[in-house]
Structure 1
Amino acid sequence: MKLYLDPGHGGSDPGAQGNGLREKDIALDIALKIRSILRNNYENVEIRMSRTSDISKSLAQRTNEANSWGADYYLSIHCNAYNGSAEGYEDFIHSSLSDFSASAKYQDIMHAEIINVNQLRNRGQKKANFHVLREATMPSLLTENGFIDNGHDVALMKQSSWRQKVAQGHVKGLARAFNLKRKSEEPKTIYKVIAGSFKTKENAEERESYLRSKGIESFIYSITISGELWYRVQAGAFSSRENAEIRLVEVKNTGVHDAYIAAEETSSNQTDDAGYSILGQTFLSPEHMNQYVKQINPNAIELGYYYLEFGEYYGIRGDIAFAQAMHETDFLRFTGTVKPNQNNFCGLGTTGPDNPGASFDTPSDGVLAHIQHLFAYASTKPLPAKYPLIDPRFDLVNRGSATTWVALNGKWAVPGTTYGQSILNLYERNINATMQNLEKILREIKS
């Protein structure tokens, strides 16, 4: 399914204005949230947006782009204004269409799903001669998500959680209308090559350095076994046991005879809380994290080392925290409210265009604040003292209230009913990309 997603207005055209808000900002934020939910949770959806930032674009440019691309559906996101007294939600198809047209059938579905969650007065399903509805050659819908000059509606618009809820309503409608398939939940086994376990980090670092000198990439993670802390050196992870055994032979050929294979089961949506605790070992190396994001955003700064280092210190899954940062920042492209110079990789304190949230002096500080915030949710223990507390919202968290990633639903993101699952989907994609790269190298070695 090819969706052309059109946040109304932009650039020199602010759209409707009221109560310190601009339509162009609200529409863009909702549209970006729609894109994120679709990308992370559904298969076989291609999305093209008329804009992903505050730029000017004519109506003709938008419909011409959608038509030439061959979109299956045109969805235009707006909000309304009148005289302060009007309120509520309404949506439109073109005035020339019958009630039995494809656009009308899709409108019925979209309207029902959106009005079910948006807490707005239902103004009904309507028809109009708007340009984007008239000139788009595919079925199309324009949604008006509240009145920006109405006190009741704008109180909702100012809440990031409400905009997320509205985006989810749109997505549920799209999923029903186009029979979108959610991403697979089938379990998978990952085979890790463990090149030594040590009681001291110094010995683990010595082993890691030795392997690197032999041309074998590895990294260190910590694990607690029977109440004791151990440092493991991992030299690869594979979806095929055969490939893991090839790497194991390579490691042993360097003289490391205590290497072995550890099999772990995972799943793409990872809804089993017991297996996906926020606290735990980091699976991916900094190099693998950085490589993954640069496949999508070649200009991304490298944060993998910080997520491993701070994650290891606080006992947080640094690689999944990294996936959360990718989810929040659109792979460090910062197409939402938070801007790159804030170094706020997890959206701390962000509530919308009028409040972009916290800022940190360096990328390292931004990651540290992110990990500390996760520690607040996942543990009731005192914060370890090696680093200063720089998370400005640490004391606002109900300590220990979310020990798993899925438990962040409704807490980190409100209502965010699929927030944790979206993060875990990104993490799974990172794992799969890493394994594919390693297996490609092994195939080249074998040939």
Structure 2
Amino acid sequence: MFKLYLDPGHGGSDSGATGNGLQEKNIVLDIALRIRDILNNEYNNIEVNMSRTTDTYVSLDQRTNEANSWNADYFLSVHCNAFNGSAQGYEDYIYSGLSDSSPTAQYRDIMHDEIIAVNELTNRGKKKANFHVLRESFMSALLTENGFIDHSGDSAKLADATYRQQVARGHVNGLERAFNLEKSASDTLYKVIAGSFQDRENAEERVAYLDSNGIPSFLHETTITGDTWYRVQAGAYSSRSNAEERLTAVKELGIEDAYILEDQGESEVTGYAIAGSVVLSPQQMDQFVRTVNPDAPALGTYYLTFGQYYGLRGDVTFAQALHETDYFRFTGVVDEEQNNFAGIGATGPDNPGASFDTPEDGVLAHIQHLYAYASTESLPDQYPLVDPRFDLVERGSAVIWVDLNGKWAVPGDQYAQMILGLYENIVNTSIDQLQNILEQISI
């Protein structure tokens, strides 16, 4: 178990540095709380104890005495700087009595590199000082000075919640590398989304409102069908129950349209199974494709029905159909009249592949062809076999989507990644459209 004592500097009657309408005590508390939340939500075998979690005064002796009696493994003190309005940048400190080859200095070197990699500040270097928290702590200790609050450029960054999240992430990256922290086994993060806006100012107002009520949040910019959206994220958790607690707290502030977004991260692309349940409704599938192609056929019901029957992710299969047919515009070698939504048997202009009597049969063939790849079981007999190439597939050779790379599409080394990226766009668009409707209703 790694025990971190996390110390936001100053607090209460001690405001710390001030400048440009900001107080150090508030900025560093926010950054520290974000560090704590990232560690608690994304890592195993770690305990975080904080000198303060609210705007209260804590003496220097209280801070080090508590860390020492708790037997912390590391003492991390978070601060901002001030001088004359012209100084700027990031620097950090270890105790002046330590050598550059000490374990504390080695930890500091790693922390410094990881923080500088993300904080977009001038690098003022690695320094030493006789600060109380560095001298009196029994364990290795580091004090970070995250920009000059009285410098216009540094303070503009520090005033931005999204930037403070970035700084917190840099500290966590350093801790992970310095102490070999173990990330949670689950690749799924449950993100609490407290609003999605096309107007950045509206999103920033939502962030400010949440922060003023004790809920750290930040903006995440995303592009959906060519449009830029600003999501307000109020936490990300490896445990869904923790995400639901945060969601409840957000809704208690009057944000009724907040929701939880499951994010399986980069591993989703490498491990996303073909078998599984459908998330999207037929209406969401059909509505999405018609934002690109108003004349697209309504096939969502077929992909839902057949997907459920064969135990496959019919909505991801729908995304595959969009990729294969260019959103049912059929700009490749397959013609619309073929009802071949998966490019089954199509190898070029001289061989446009199979044809099916109806759109329903075309979807059924698509699902059956995918079933042949994903399963070694016999084909269930409720529907007739309409896929002419079912018996040509190596059964069970593609259990996850990326297994289709080089099989369904040749060479196709990014084939599944493109499908899953398109699927993510459909899901995100559906969520944001629903939230936008809810916002309009609440106005």
Give the TM-score taking structure 2 as reference length: 0.48
Structure possessing the higher radius of gyration over alpha carbons: 2
Greater relative CO (CA pairs within 8 A, separation 6+)? 1
In the superposition, the TM-score normalised over structure 1's length comes to: 0.47
